[in-house]
Amino acid sequence: MNIISTIDYQTLQIRKLLMDDFEKGMLIQQFKVCEEETKFLDFYALQSYITETNIINLIVLKSIQYNCTNIINLWNEKLINLPDDMFEKCFFIKDEPPIIRFSTWFKFHAIYLKDSEFQFYDTIFEKKQFIKKHNDTTKSFIIQDIIIICNNILNFITSAYPEILPQSQADFKQINKDLSNDNVFEMKNHLIPKIDIYDVFKHFEVLTKTTNKNDEFYLTNEQLLIFIKTTFADKKPIKQNFNCKGFQKKKVRKVFYDFYFNNKNKETNHTRLKRKYFNIMNDAFYGFNENDYTDFAK
């Protein structure tokens, strides 16, 4: 696996970990990473490879760019104010004679790096074994360190291949600059032609009026319009984060499942129909996985 593929895999895994934190509403700030086999987010190796190699297929670079952009946006918009996730009891490791070598109240990710795998040490016992065994080849990163590296990666890729446009909040603003309720209502529903766009709006409008436990609305009206335009009119959904720091999956799933239940009889092709309606949610918003497909009706 070359350095581009390695960085792509690593940024994808980091993005997933941060999304998990967002869903839990608790943040794990620190990454303890063993670099015995490969390095963590090796920007200089990536820089050297891109400088020396004429890359024809830009798909993986676009994927790295997408991952890095989402990591940065997640931190800036969703995670920065989350409380730290903490152990129930102080985590510590003693040396012989009994001198405390390492202690913390704050949870951390313990990761053994391989080229194409993050080997996680999740339990307290596993984390202690990880530190005892790999301490000399382990580096510590906090999320801010990762954000800086992701920024460097983004800037360098954009400089080397300016034809790759970064996906950022600017993209959403560009899509939304001419959007209003009225002109969205005039659009055709190409995804489900028998349902009027206005009816789609009225169904999902509840997400702009429903709040989580922190009294934050699930969606802004702007996000709702982007969702309707890209998913139903354009059939090219753009994945967005919800407008709140944490959300109850069950509540959101119910809104989308009710949309499926209320409209399934309007479809002419019933093959994989439940999957189609689940994907309306899953392709447009972060935070869902196959378990949510299983629990779609719950």
Alpha-carbon Rg for the chain in angstroms: 22
Residues 274 and 208 in one domain: yes
Q: Which residues pair with 100 in a beta bridge?
A: 94
Give the model's pLDDT for residue 99.
58
pLDDT (average), residues 270-283: 90
In this structure, are strands 30-34 and 108-114 parallel, antiparallel, or unpaired? parallel
Residues 159 and 207 in one domain: no
What is the C-alpha end-to-end distance of the chain, expressed in Å? 41
Whether 23 contacts 288, CB under 8 Å: no
pLDDT in tens, 79-127: 888 899 999 898 888 766 555 567 889 999 999 998 888 999 999 999 9
Residues 161 and 181 in one domain: no
Residues 200 and 162 in one domain: no
Measuring CA to CA, which residue among 166, 170, 171, 151 is closest to residue 58?
166
Whether 252 contacts 276, CB under 8 Å: no
Residues 187 and 116 in one domain: no
Please, what is the average pLDDT of the chain? 88
The total number of structural domains that make up the chain = 2
Whether 231 contacts 184, CB under 8 Å: no
| Mean pLDDT lowest among 1-15, 87-101, 146-160, 239-253 | 87-101
Residues 200 and 141 in one domain: no
Give the model's pLDDT for residue 292.
86
Give the model's pLDDT for residue 96.
63
Residues 76 and 189 in one domain: no
Provide the whole-model pTM: 0.56
Residues 189 and 243 in one domain: yes
Q: Cα dihedral sign for 131, 136, 142, 148?
A: negative
Residues 9 and 141 in one domain: yes
Whether 90 contacts 103, CB under 8 Å: yes
* Side-chain half-sphere exposure of 114, counting CA atoms within 13 A: 5
Residues 142 and 176 in one domain: no
Tell me which residue range forms the domain holding 13: 3-167
Question: Which of 167, 182, 205 is the C-terminal boundary of a domain?
Answer: 167
